[in-house]
Amino acid sequence: MSLRREGTPQGGPLSPLLSNILLDDLDKELERRGHAFCRYADDCNIYVQTRRAGERVMASITRFLEERLKLRVNESKSAVDRPWKRKFLGYTMTWNKRPKLKVAASSVKRLKDALCEQFRKGRGRKLQDVITTLTPKLRGWVNYFKLAEVKNVFELLDEWVRHRLRNIIWRQWKRIYTRARNMMQRGLAED
């Protein structure tokens, strides 16, 4: 058994509580400077007008966090960029004059990867069992991203899931005769 010397377990209830207590000083500093910002636990986005202002704010806030709060800033996750090129809590924005909230592509990819694992396990199982397994995951994902204003992601995902479910049925029918018979029972003409 290894002992932990620093930090809290990721995903635990203590981690966000401690980060909010510790980063309250950051919130006050950003408000004092008049910046528009959004922070959730230890993730933070600060919005400024220009790239030069972004680089200047990034340097000064990094210095504030390291010198005043004694925290390390992860350089690989930190960047100065356009809002629609960044991801925050699984969301991103459109680049329109009035930006809209949308699901980040990486969030969709992560969901599809998780679902592909379930579809692989679906071989040889009843379709209803596969659907029962997928439903809580899909319902939770859709509820998390319900604030998204760009809805075509959900339509494309629905199309993708239905295609995968049809693939399971197609594989279960196996023989050409069975496939033809079942397709005709569903209304397809014999020819």
Render 60-96 in DSSP notation, one character per residue: HHHHIIIIIS-----TTT-----GGGS-BTTEEE--S
What is the per-residue pLDDT for 61? Answer: 92
Query: Which pair of tokens denotes residue 102?
Result: 């949308």
Helix (H) or strand (E) holding 46: strand 43-47
Task: Choose between 8 and 175: higher pLDDT.
Answer: 175
What is the per-residue pLDDT for 122? Answer: 64
Residue 161 has pLDDT above 90, yes or no: yes
Query: Which pair of tokens denotes residue 95?
Result: 């680049």
Q: Looking at the whole model, is its pTM more than 0.85?
A: no
What is each CA distance from 28 to 44, 73, 116, 157, 183, in whole angstroms? 13, 18, 44, 40, 65
Average pLDDT, the chain: 87
Q: What is the mean pLDDT of residues 84-98?
A: 86
Read off the amino acid at residue 82. Answer: R
Buried-exposed string 79-102: b where 16+ CB fall within 10 A, e elsewhere: ebeeeeeebbebbbbeeeeeeeeb
What is the per-residue pLDDT for 1? Answer: 46
* Contact (Cβ atoms closer than 8 angstroms) between residue 42 and residue 18: no
Residue 191 has pLDDT above 80, yes or no: no
Percent of the chain with pLDDT over 70: 95
Q: What is the mean pLDDT of residues 42-64?
A: 90
pLDDT band at 104 (very low <50, low <70, confident <90, very high): very high
